[in-house]
Each structure stands twice: as structure tokens, then as C-alpha cells.
Amino acid sequence: MKFISVFQMPKPVNVMGRSSSITNSFVNGIIPCIIPSEEEIRESLAILELEAEDLRCAYCGDKSTEWDHLRPLVKGKQPTGYISDIYNLVPACGKCNQSKGNKNWKEWMRSNARLSPQSRGVTDLVNKISRLEKYEKWKAVMPLNFKDLIDEELWEEHWNNYNQLIELMKRSQQTSAKVQQQLQSRYREQI
């Protein structure tokens, strides 16, 4: 047996590898979160044919661990205009939420993406999709044009902060690469 076959080096981390997290933070940080009424929650679960006592993922039927944005908040590093309200949130499991990301929910469900309901062989997919289509029509949700609703100076300040942070991350990546090279070189000198 070759022992190298059982060894796995951790994947190198780079500063810019976290830029999507920064983008999501800058978008999510401005998204309104509208708390639903008891009646709205009851109605949402009725449309999805889910029970509050045993809440299941609307996509696959596994135990729900969170509520997912049916329509994504971020696309192409920009806010889509959708917000966090009951009309854009459905119960989900962690596998589905992570796998779906900012993809169109219906295309993703039918895709062979890693951990999608289709790729996991989830049964009754047609009915799950049908319930989600009804949910999507429950209220005519239209994306907001955030830029038109915010004072121009404030909007520009927010995105200037974002751009400055991304530029700083790029410079930090260059510095961290030099630090890593120097550490690796000096470590080798010691052994």
C-alpha cells in the first residue's frame, strides 16, 4: 500500500477566495427582513402542504433546518431586488440551501447539480415543483430597484466601501503570498 494514497493536503486558502462572502455580506446587509404574521406563516405552509410540527424541506422533503430565499438575493455580484420576506422564503434543509445557491429553484431542482433533489433521487419531484409554483404565485413578488429607492450619495458610499474592501483584499492576497513563500522557505531551512 502506498501511504500517499491516504493523505490529503488541505486546500490552500487565499484571501480573494472569500470575495463572494464579502459580496453577499454587502448585499445581505442592506436587504430588509420583514417578519411575517402568524397567518402568513400558516398560509405559506398550507400552500406548500407542510406541517409546522414536523417542518420539512420544500425542495426534497428532508427535515428543514432553515428558510431559503426562493428567489436569490444576489446575482452577478449585485442585489437582485428581492428581499427577505415570507413570500420569498421556503423551509429548506442545509443540503438543498447550499446546493441551490443563487440558481433558479426549478432549474436547480431538475438538474444533476451536486445535492440537487434530482441528483439525490428525491421522489415525488413533480408534486414538490407544483407546490413551489403555487407558492411562487401566492403573491406577485416583483424585485425592487434599490438604487431608485435610496439616496444616490448613500448608495454610492455603500458600493464604494465594497470596492475599497475588494481592492484591499487583492493587495492582501499579494502580501499573504509573499509571507507564505517566506515562511515556507525559512521552514525548509530549519529542517
Tell me the average confidence (pLDDT) per consecutive run of 10 residues in the chain, 191 residues long.
Answer: 83 82 92 95 97 97 97 93 96 96 95 96 96 95 93 96 95 93 87 73
- DSSP E strands in 28-108: the ranges are 66-69, 74-75, 78-79, 89-92
Residue 136: per-residue pLDDT: 95
Decide the pairing of beta strands 89-92 and 78-79.
Answer: unpaired
Residue 9: per-residue pLDDT: 81
Residue 51: per-residue pLDDT: 96
Alpha-carbon span 112 to 121, nearest angstrom: 10
Q: Is residue 5 part of a domain?
A: no
Q: Is residue 55 part of a domain?
A: yes
Task: Give the cell for residue 89.
Answer: 422564503
Q: Is residue 2 part of a domain?
A: no
Q: Is residue 1 part of a domain?
A: no
Q: Is residue 141 part of a domain?
A: yes
- DSSP E strands in the chain: the ranges are 66-69, 74-75, 78-79, 89-92
Structural domain that includes position 170: 13-190
Q: Is residue 7 part of a domain?
A: no
Q: What is the dihedral of CA 99, 67, 82, 116, to 10 degrees?
A: 20
Residue 20: per-residue pLDDT: 86
Residue 176: per-residue pLDDT: 92
Cell 500517499 sits on residue: 4
Q: What is the dihedral of CA 169, 171, 173, 177, to 10 degrees?
A: -160
Q: Is residue 4 part of a domain?
A: no
Give how many domains the chain has, as a whole number: 1
